[in-house]
Amino acid sequence: MPDAAGVPTPAVAGTARDPRTRVLLDGPVGPTLLRLAAPNVAVMAAQTSIGLIETWFIGKFGLDALTGVALVFPLLMLLQMLSAGAVGGGILSAVARSLGRQEDAGDLAWAGVAIGLGLVATLAGLAFGPALFAALGGRAGSLDAAVTYSTLIFAGAVPLWLFNSLAAVIRGTGNMAFPATVTTAGAVVLIPISPLLIFGAGPVPALGIAGGAAAVVIYYVVGSVFFAWLIWSGRGVLRPAPRPPRLAWGSLREILRVGAASSVTTLSTNLSIITATGLAGLIGPAAVAGYGTAVRLEYLLVPLVFGLGAPMAAMVGTAIGAGQHDRALRVAWAGAAFAAAITEAIGITAAAFPHAWLSLFGDDPEMIATGSSYLRIVGPFYGFFGGGLALYFASQGAGRVGWPTASALLRLLIAAGGGWLAVTITGNVNWLFVVLAASLVVYGASNAAAFSGRSWVSRVPPRFRAVAATPQVANPTSTA
């Protein structure tokens, strides 16, 4: 039966490799990686535009609204990164490695759905969000704005989690185009819906900043329906049962072993920014708004690198499953180089022209001044963050994320401990930014050290280094 792209797929897993799997194993490393990443980067650019446009509209309500959204944004990104990059990465990695070993990965789709932590996020966000926003510096109007915005965002955490889990299942098969198409089409529809719900028109009431959150929730609900249709319609590589099977611990373990450790990395990354937001709050609300607005650019690097990291994880996982260890290492270094180059270019541009970015969201002088300082000091070091994050995705594909987790924790330690000392001793937010820049350098350098030589391959668990049942010959013309 053909898949969504019209490519024939085997009726029984293990009899022959699907064409997409052969591309992951035999295609030239650099061109294959860029070709698979192109739709992902496009989709991440679309998602980025949603956040930027929404923030631009919300900025029309003044500094309190902008500060309130800045307080919520790290938690929203934490939820996004946990569902798409951490647990979603575990789902993608498990599916890819299963295909590399020519095993049936259909049950992994149901396992991915079963790990529904969106409800936990909803309960935690609604219960503890207000107190956290107050601790981070929310006051009066800005605190009210944060609570209003976050209430709808966390109420919609379940469809958000399901959206990213199902997208990860599809990407794990090497199909990057369908998730990109659904996400981009959804963005095109969402862009006019967001201001409609924010400002109102005709019979539609003006919901204010809550309207932006409502539009995002609608987007995830509709997208999840499309992803579920592809997976269970029989048009993709996988053939999951139409009804939930009795979940085997093996399937859940394959996902959670990578996803749980990756979650530590994601938590560390976000806690670094959340802690810095709180430290900026010691200086004042304008500092929170300035840092929170500027750091959105760093957050936007994450989905851009994810656009490259998802195919990296799929290629590395499939290669490890098929015993092609040298190819997995070439994919890791090629992806890291691409990611570092892209993020460094963005950081240098932002450092040179900070006002161009910050003025999109407001014109408060203190906000502009604080945000400009952050971008000038930290922006030139974004390449370390991009390269290190790409190697984290490669580690997910290999099913070995211990070292990236340690690197992320080290970054958190430097950002939190060093940042606290910088603010309490000097009272100058610029020294906080110097510490944050140093934490990015340490993060990228320590991840790169873990991939030196063949030491990384030797740390891949033996069960993931088994050669596939059907011998494969790597393409001798493959290059990085």
Tens of pLDDT along 206-255? 888 788 788 888 888 998 899 988 888 877 677 766 776 676 666 667 67
CA atoms within 13 A on the CB side of 352: 6
The number of helices, as runs of H, and strands, as runs of E, in the chain is 20, 0
Helix axes 118-135, 140-155, angle to 10 degrees: 180
Angle among Cα 281, 285, 286 to the nearest 5 degrees reads: 115
pLDDT at 470 over 50: no
Burial label for 468, CB within 10 Å (0-12, 13-18, 19+), is buried
Instruction: Tell me which residue of 344, 417, 413, 357 sits closest to 385, measured CA to CA.
Output: 344
Using one digit for the tens of pLDDT, what is the confidence trace for 341-352? 999 999 999 999
Query: Which sign does the torsion angle of CA 479, 345, 312, 3 carry?
Result: negative
Helix axes 157-172, 285-321, angle to 10 degrees: 30
Using one digit for the tens of pLDDT, what is the confidence trace for 158-184? 888 889 888 888 887 778 778 888 888
Give the other-Cβ count within 10 Å of 376's Cβ. Answer: 16
| Pairwise CA distance, residues 198 & 61, whole Å | 10
**What percent of the chain clears pLDDT 90, i.e. is strictly above it?**
11
Q: What does the domain layout of the chain look like in residue ranges?
A: 19-460
Do the Cβ atoms of 421 and 361 come closer than 8 Å?
no
For residue 200, CA distances in Å to 3, 204, 207, 209 come to 41, 5, 7, 11
| Pairwise CA distance, residues 204 & 49, whole Å | 24
| Pairwise CA distance, residues 324 & 160, whole Å | 35
| Pairwise CA distance, residues 281 & 412, whole Å | 18
Q: What is the pLDDT of residue 24?
A: 67
Using one digit for the tens of pLDDT, what is the confidence trace for 285-336? 777 777 877 887 887 787 788 778 878 877 887 777 777 777 888 888 888 8
Residues in CB range of 49: below 8 A, 6 or more apart: 187, 191
Higher pLDDT, 77 or 199: 199
Do the Cβ atoms of 401 and 92 come closer than 8 Å?
no
Q: What is the pLDDT of residue 456?
A: 57
Helix, strand, coil tally for the chain in percent (to 5): 80, 0, 20
* Tokens 């009210």 found at: 144
| Pairwise CA distance, residues 66 & 76, whole Å | 15
Structure tokens at 162: 């399901």
Structure tokens at 88: 């979603």
Q: State phi, psi for 324 to the nearest 5 degrees.
A: -95, 75
Please report which confidence band the pLDDT of residue 381 belongs to, taking 50, 70 and 90 as the band edges.
Answer: very high
Give the other-Cβ count within 10 Å of 469's Cβ. Answer: 10
Higher pLDDT, 416 or 281: 416
Higher pLDDT, 372 or 114: 372
Q: For residues 114-130, b (16+ Cβ closer than 10 Å) or e, as one string?
A: ebbbbeebbebbeeebb
Instruction: Tell me which residue of 2, 14, 1, 3 sits closest to 470, measured CA to CA.
Output: 14
- Bridge partner list, 8: 2
Do the Cβ atoms of 181 and 195 come closer than 8 Å?
no
| Pairwise CA distance, residues 382 & 407, whole Å | 16
Please report which confidence band the pLDDT of residue 358 belongs to, taking 50, 70 and 90 as the band edges.
Answer: confident
Structure tokens at 165: 């889990």
* Tokens 């090629």 found at: 334
What's the full length of the chain, in residues? Answer: 480
* Tokens 């061109």 found at: 31
Angle among Cα 226, 230, 235 to the nearest 5 degrees reads: 155
